């Protein structure tokens, strides 16, 4: 599925990683290479010669995100067994393959991490239903910490106040404002004097247990 690996490639390139993409369709690869700073190799990733051409010998990580689960499992196995790639990630649709499964261990398919697209989307939608005021909710550290995006509304306790005032205005709920988008542009430098304005899209990092308090403070 082109959209899957294209999205992965775009995100990794944006973080200044050295990326090589393998695909059987040279046209798709050429389009991606014209748009992003990466290298393309035409071929099937389950073939050792193709992985070698892509630089598997020196790779730190391989992400297998072909449409078929079996292809991604085999790619990870070959990458580990033949090329000693330290980290392997597979995109798998089947719920029968879970992180920690013996089938995915080093003596099995050698998959270090599994990405379940359907489960990820379901969990994301569940969070948005649970917190309808939020624009985005992303969890980290086994769900203990969340990154929340919320639009500031006039009348919210933090709106029209400076960031330095947050501890006093919302005691007992530690939070960090990591980004503010205002009128479709990001505020490049945030400091204690930065003021939250109505309509701002505010990205906040906080303990998941404090999400309700954070949302209430901005709305």
Do 108 and 160 fall within a single domain?
A: no
Do 193 and 210 fall within a single domain?
A: yes
Domain stop point among 81, 100, 118: 118
> Tell me: the pLDDT tens digits for 130-158?
778 888 888 887 778 888 899 999 988 89
Domain of residue 55, CATH code: 3.40.50.720
Domain stop point among 118, 135, 152: 118
Domain span including residue 209: 126-218
User: Nearest 5°: phi and psi at 102?
Assistant: -65, -25
Do 78 and 20 fall within a single domain?
A: yes
Domain stop point among 94, 118, 142: 118
CB 98 within 8 A of CB 172: no
Do 206 and 110 fall within a single domain?
A: no
Q: Which residues pair with 179 in a beta bridge?
A: 203
Number of folded domains that form the chain? 2
Q: What is the pTM of this model?
A: 0.58
User: Distance from first CA to last CA of the chain, Å, rounded?
Assistant: 39
> Tell me: the pLDDT tens digits for 162-218?
999 998 988 888 889 999 999 878 887 889 999 999 999 999 999 989 888 888 888
* SS3 state at 148: strand
Do 158 and 187 fall within a single domain?
A: yes
């Amino acid at each position: 599925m082109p959209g899957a690996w294209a999205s992965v490639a775009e995100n990794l390139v944006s973080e200044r990683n050295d990326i090589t993409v393998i695909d059987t369709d040279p046209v798709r690869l050429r389009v991606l290479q014209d748009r992003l700073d990466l290298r393309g190799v035409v071929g099937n990733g389950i073939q050792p010669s193709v992985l070698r051409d892509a630089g598997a010998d020196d790779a730190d990580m391989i992400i297998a995100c072909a449409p078929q689960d079996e292809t991604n499992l085999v790619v990870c196995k070959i990458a580990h067994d033949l090329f000693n790639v330290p980290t392997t990630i597979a995109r798998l649709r089947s719920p029968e393959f879970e992180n920690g499964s013996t089938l995915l261990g080093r003596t099995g398919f050698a998959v270090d991490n599994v990405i379940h697209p359907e489960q990820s989307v379901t969990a994301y939608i569940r969070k948005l239903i649970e917190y309808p005021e939020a624009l985005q909710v992303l969890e980290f550290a086994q769900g203990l910490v969340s990154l929340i995006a919320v639009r500031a509304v006039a009348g919210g306790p933090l709106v029209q106040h400076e960031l330095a005032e947050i501890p006093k205005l919302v005691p007992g709920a530690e939070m960090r404002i990591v980004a503010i988008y205002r009128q479709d542009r990001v505020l490049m430098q945030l400091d204690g004097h930065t003021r939250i304005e109505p309509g701002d899209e505010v990205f906040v990092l906080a303990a998941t247990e404090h999400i309700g308090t954070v949302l209430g403070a901005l709305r």
